[in-house]
């Protein structure tokens, strides 16, 4: 008996996975069955219309059980250094399990395979596109939410720091918008085979972000440009893996150079075409989240 397609979202305890499961449950429960998977399923929030399972990316034997009966798989590419092999093995397990469609999180710099993140994701996109299963890629730029990493200095010093010129704009995606786009693709997957979507919520420079915080918090918030070496030292000191820090600094260098892939943008048109909704503006995000920075 044909029922609703079964969607499995991996990484459902993380920001993107959890937000996507929420949108699926709230908006598309009449269209799809929802299964939420993570290495530690206890960390997945309980929700109506959602079945929680253990799903370990890259572990083909373990994945047999959570992939049973799954029609649509969303691989939220992990932040691990070996994420290419983890994601590819997961996609191969999906093929063996009879999955009909795979959506994979990628990055805009996939077109720059000489970069750290671009190399990892171009390998993933290449292998997934040759598996023989319908697929799509959701290419996410840097997150608006990254500014939470500067919460302490915004609170205590009324300032945030990065190795960028204050007036160099870049494209950003809000987690909520990424979740809406992913859920829309998963719920209507037959329309998206073979497509790659680079989506953005807004395009702005750090000086504009500082101005938005100044207005929302009622105090002057400054952006301070620092040398890349100082930024790296600070991030590694906070426990970030060095390879990931190098990858982020590489992105910031591309933005500084005005690389179109991270700075040109489309005024949110790709996102709007997927979701039918207006993207989240940076100013709206800051206004909504300002209480968390007080």
Tens digit of each residue's pLDDT (9 = 90 or more) over 105-162? 999 999 999 999 999 999 999 999 999 999 999 999 999 999 999 999 999 999 999 9
Task: Answer whether residue 73 shows pLDDT above 70.
Answer: yes
Could you read off the pLDDT of 239-255 as tens digits, one per residue? 999 999 999 999 999 99
Q: H/E/C letters for each residue in the chain?
A: CCCCCEEEECCCCCHHHHHHHHHHHHHCCCCCEEEEEECCHHHCCCCCCEEEEECCCCCHHHHCCCCCCCCEEEECCCCCCCHHHHHHHHHHHHHHCCCCEEEEEECHHHHCCCCHHHHHHHHHHHHHHCCCCCEEEEECCEEHHHHHHHHHHHHHHCEEEECCCCCCCEEEECHHHHHHHHHHHHHCHHHCCCEEEECCCEEECHHHHHHHHHHHHCCCCEEEECCHHHHHHHHHHCCCCHHHHHHHHHHHHHHHCCCHHHHCCCCCHHHHHHHCCCCCCHHHHHHHHHHHHC
| Residue 5: band (very low, low, confident or very high) from pLDDT cuts 50, 70, 90 | very high
**What band does 2 get if pLDDT is binned at 50, 70 and 90?**
low
This prediction's pTM = 0.95
Residue 29 has pLDDT above 60, yes or no: yes
Looking at residue 1, what is its pLDDT? 35
pLDDT at 209: 98
| pLDDT mean over 59-71 | 97
> What is the per-residue pLDDT for 265?
86
> Domains in the chain, please, with CATH?
6-139+175-198 (3.40.50.720), 144-171+201-264+276-293 (3.90.25.10)
Question: Each residue of 158-189: pLDDT tens digit?
Answer: 999 999 999 999 999 999 999 999 999 999 99
């Amino acid at each position: 008996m044909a029922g609703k397609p079964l969607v499995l979202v991996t990484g459902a305890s993380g920001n993107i996975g959890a937000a996507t499961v929420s949108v699926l449950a709230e908006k598309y429960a009449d269209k799809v069955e929802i299964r939420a998977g993570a290495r530690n399923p206890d960390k997945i929030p309980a929700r109506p219309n959602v079945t929680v399972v253990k799903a370990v990316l890259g572990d083909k034997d373990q994945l047999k059980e959570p992939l049973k009966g799954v029609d649509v798989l969303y691989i939220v590419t992990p932040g691990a250094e070996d994420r290419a092999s983890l994601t590819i093995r997961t996609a191969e397990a999906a093929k063996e399990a009879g999955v009909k469609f795979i959506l994979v999180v990628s990055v805009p710099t996939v077109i720059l395979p000489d970069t750290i993140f671009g190399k990892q994701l171009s390998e993933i996109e290449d292998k997934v596109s040759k598996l023989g299963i319908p697929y799509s890629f959701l290419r996410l730029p840097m997150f608006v939410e990254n500014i939470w990493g500067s919460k302490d200095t915004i609170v205590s010093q009324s300032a945030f720091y990065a190795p960028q010129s204050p007036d160099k704009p870049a494209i950003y995606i809000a987690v909520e918008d990424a979740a809406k786009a992913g859920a829309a693709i998963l719920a209507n997957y037959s329309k998206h085979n073979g497509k790659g979507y680079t989506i953005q919520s807004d395009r702005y420079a750090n000086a504009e972000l500082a101005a938005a915080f100044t207005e929302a918090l009622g105090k002057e918030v400054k952006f301070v440009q620092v040398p890349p070496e100082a930024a790296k030292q600070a991030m590694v000191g906070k426990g970030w893996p060095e390879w990931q820090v190098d990858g982020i600094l590489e992105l910031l260098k591309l933005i500084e150079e005005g690389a179109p892939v991270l700075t040109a943008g489309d005024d949110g048109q790709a996102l709007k075409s997927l979701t039918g909704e207006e993207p989240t503006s940076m100013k709206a995000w800051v206004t909504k989240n300002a209480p968390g920075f007080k």
